[in-house]
A and B are shown apart, each in its own frame.
Chain A
Amino acid sequence: MGTLEKIEAIRNGELSATENVELALERIRKLNGKLNAFLEINSKAMEEAGEVDRMLKAGEAGKLAGLTIAVKSNINVKGLRATCASKTLEDYVCPYDAEVITRIRREGGIIIGMTNMDEFACGSSGETSAFGPTDNPAAPGYIPGGSSSGSAAAVASAMCDLALGTDTGGSIRNPASHCGVIGVKPTYGLVPRQGLIDLGMSLDQIGPISPDVPGSVLLLEVIAGKNQAEGMMMDVERVSYGELNGGVKGMRIGVSPQFSNLTDPRITGVIEKKVEFLKDLGAEIVEIRLPHIEQALSAYYLIVSVEFFSATRKYDGRKYGKRIESVCGEEVLRRIMLGSYISRREYRGRYYQRALQVRTLIRKELSLALKQVDAIVGPTVPKLPHKLGTRLTPLEMYAYDYLTIPANLAGTCAGVVKAGEVNGIPVGIQVQGKPLGEEKILRVMRALEVESSKSG
């Protein structure tokens, strides 16, 4: 059952919100022990479902009425723990709701629980969690990708209807690709970040993860739009993506030779087939150039380390939680050290500011390329996921992010939809768009999804 069909069923009374929550809790009970996708279950979910059912009866159902939403553990949900999968915030019970949570609740969505993740979103495999790694439901024994590992795994295993992830350098798109689900990183400033625990403030965005494109559209329509209480937002009141099934006929779609230079040929093979599909559907395929895509990675890690260093200064162990340096894992500590070092007065010009200049370069390149086309398609992750427990060097780990980082550095939007499989492991195709170009990329994603369901 697709997301829209489920909503319909709930509206019709074929399925109550309470039953839907029971269904999810049952799946979680059955699967979470093995998958480790959830860190905490909302003990009030049934109670909240009852309330939604009452509202449904009264005809006051919101857009998400009765759907179960999993939330990444770096988003504040009042009364639950936003641990960031870290010992630092192990006991941090959120004193407030993030703005996106307020919006989800308003539309009748039910927070089913908090999902596992890489510690403070530092990682691309889901393995840096202080509470153990998450398994990949679509390819057991392999990493689910990260850092929104638990959210992607929860959606892939139908333990929830929809999930919130966050994406700083690919953290929604990477696990969506590895788990074979849909994920969207919205334009920077489209979705409120109030209540999102920082990794890199100038890069972070909250976005949807879902089993199908309409699910992501629905959740995005609920969470997107200006929040008066924060400054870094686009001047967009609300979004509505009506023309989802408009197809790609006549659209200009960019591909870049730089993608395949960085990517496992088996993955490139899967992606190229999908490009052919799009061509068959009437899209015009245009070659674009992104000459410095490889260097974006270096700039990204320098910038994110400095912002993360700054963001973690509040974890001094005085007001809540524990002092971060005393309890955190290796990757978190490495980034704090790196950020602390390169923001020093004598080094900031050489490293930090230099990286910010490269960011400008990437932004110019990407926006130039996007001027020529409606969307850019290509691989999401250049490598296949490794087996859980394989030890990678930090640089090997970072290499997962080559293709997702540019959209974060440029503040543009991008989404992922499953393109195929390599040795039974899902491979996602990434569709990138202009700032606020969500409607176009969602249309391309929907076309690919419909095409796959026909052929698959």
Chain B
Amino acid sequence: MSDSKDQDLNPKEIERSAEEILRVFTRVIESLPVEEETYYGQELVNPLRPDGEPSPPSVRREFRKCFISIMPASDDDGKLRVEVARWAR
């Protein structure tokens, strides 16, 4: 895939600004007390989903059509076309 940009971004400069932000933000939180990490938006129970009857084919047929229609490239069987692996060449 090409890295050509539509716009004049300077990744080096953006990276520098990211580093600056990181420096400032880290300094701010450095001295705060150590706590457990909060990974989730809410702490809820342990939800699982029972195995069972899969979704009906009609729903998936409809999605398949849309999915294939938005693929940049596909083959006749409805497979997504992507690059050939370098190691397999």
Query: Hey, which bits of chain A sit against chain B, CB under 8 A?
Result: 78, 87, 91-93, 95-96, 187-189, 201-203, 231-235, 292, 294-295, 297-299, 301-302, 316-320, 323, 325-327, 329-330, 333-334, 337-338, 341-342, 350-351, 353-361, 363-364, 393-395, 398, 409, 411, 435
Contact = CB atoms under 8 A, between A and B. Distances in A.
Given A189-B42, A337-B14, A326 B5 contact: yes
A317 B1 contact: yes
B88 interface: no
A326 B1 contact: yes
B70 A341 contact: no
Contact of B21 (A316, A319, A338, A409): A338
B53 interface: no
Nearest to A339: B18
A363 B42 contact: no
B36 A341 contact: no
Contacts of B40: 202, 232
B42 A188 contact: yes
B41 A188 contact: yes
Interface in B25-62: 25-26, 28-30, 32-42, 44, 47
Contacts of B63: 95-96
Contacts of A394: 17, 21
B85 interface: no
Of listed A316, A317, A354, A395, residue having the most chain B CB within 10 A: A354
A232 B71 contact: no
Chain B interface size range: 35 or more
B77 interface: no
Contact of B18 (A232, A341, A357): A341
A409 B35 CA distance: 14
B29 A354 contact: yes
A356 B14 contact: no
B15 interface: yes
Contacts of A333: 9, 11, 14
Contacts of A294: 28
B1 A323 contact: yes
A316 B67 CA distance: 16
A188 B42 CA distance: 7
A140 to B, nearest CB: 27
B47 to A, nearest CB: 5
Contact of A360 (B3, B18, B38): B38
B29 A435 contact: no
A95 B71 CA distance: 11
Contact of A295 (B14, B20, B32): B32
A84 to B, nearest CB: 15
Nearest to A234: B42
A189 B41 CA distance: 7
A327 B41 contact: no
A232 B41 contact: yes
Contacts of B26: 298, 350-351, 354
B41 A411 contact: yes
A197 to B, nearest CB: 14
A351 B23 CA distance: 10
B77 to A, nearest CB: 16
B15 A361 contact: no
B84 interface: no
Interface string B69-89: 111100000001010000000
Contacts of B17: 334, 393-394
Contact of A356 (B5, B9, B38): B38
B66 A95 contact: yes
